[in-house]
Structure 1
């Protein structure tokens, strides 16, 4: 296994990128979400409220004002897991800040050969692979410098994006079945 660094050591990338920050999310849920009060409230039927002053959303707005974009594709199961439902419900606040979040069914992701691991791709040249354990906890990140792997991540992004649907559309379909 390559050397892992703490996630905190790459947070500068979220402010320093110039044009695009793209995330591929492959997990069925994340430990950090499950530990939060918003997730627990969601399980009790309370929709997550937007958090416009959350540091993430403040940064997304600032980068959007500079002409940069945040986007992500979330791979979801059919039917979605509780963690995936939470992410779809909570996405509205991120979208309001300027992030474009889309959803792709896992079966389609597998058909087109997307990776089964999470990553961030900054400006199509800086790849950060997330290492997440069986409890859905991020154990560290890997700053990937191998250009073949960076190119593969670019191709994954480019294959996933046109097939994915906006989160609001996917969430509306999921909500109509509950």
Structure 2
């Protein structure tokens, strides 16, 4: 499996997995140049979500078939502006069937988690997310089904999931700390 997978071919991975899709998110920010959603959020406004609706619809479709979509987000204390924005979006992800957990960056380092984002589909296909060198613009994914790579990433998934907090627990803890 080689080459960069983008566009519909990348989206098809979410239509074609049979049981589980898992993502480790380690970046502090992702490209937001395409629209004004993040700046509106940071200005205290409630952003519109039409840009996000196709993803939510896809997740509803997939989780409605009994498939699991899970993520662990590695976060700083305090979380970056972008991660606060993602936390604001989290209830929409949850309503679509995604289970997103939160893991402190210090714990991720102690666990030896990688410094890059990846998806695992059905515990057998690894999709490493690729970003440009100048910023946070997503370029696509490279696929890998090499047994040693897949097993290593499954181990990281299991370790991250074990130590990560549910969204509600994480949100309560950081809210209490902010008081």
TM-score (norm 2): 0.88
Aligned position for 2:114? 115
CA distance 1:65–1:143, change in 2 (3 Å): same
1: CA distance, partners of 2:130 / 2:18: 25
- Runs in 1 of length 4+ with deviation above 6 angstroms? none
2: CA distance, partners of 1:167 / 1:161: 12
2: CA distance, partners of 1:154 / 1:48: 35
Q: Which stretch of structure 1 is more off in the superposition, 61-70 or 155-164?
A: 61-70
- Contact 2:10–2:140 (8 Å) recurs in 1: no
1:168 is displaced (CA, Å) by 3.2
Aligned position for 1:148? 148
Aligned position for 1:97? 96
1: CA distance, partners of 2:36 / 2:31: 12
Q: Which stretch of structure 1 is more off in the superposition, 19-28 or 128-137?
A: 128-137
Please give the residue correspondences for 1:39-78 in structure 2 after superposition, counting only pairs within 5 Å: 39-48=38-47, 54-78=53-77
CA distance 1:7–1:173, change in 2 (3 Å): farther
- Contact 1:4–1:141 (8 Å) recurs in 2: yes
1: CA distance, partners of 2:111 / 2:141: 25
CA distance 1:6–1:49, change in 2 (3 Å): closer
TM-score (norm 1): 0.88
Aligned position for 2:16? 16
Unmatched 5+ stretches in structure 2 = none
- Contact 1:89–1:171 (8 Å) recurs in 2: no
Q: How many residues align?
A: 175
1:170 is displaced (CA, Å) by 2.1
1:124 is displaced (CA, Å) by 0.3
RMSD of aligned alpha carbons: 2.1
Aligned position for 1:30? 30
1:4 is displaced (CA, Å) by 2.8
3-state secondary structure, aligned to 2:4: coil
1:137 is displaced (CA, Å) by 1.2
Unmatched 5+ stretches in structure 1 = none
CA distance 1:36–1:102, change in 2 (3 Å): farther
2: CA distance, partners of 1:95 / 1:48: 18
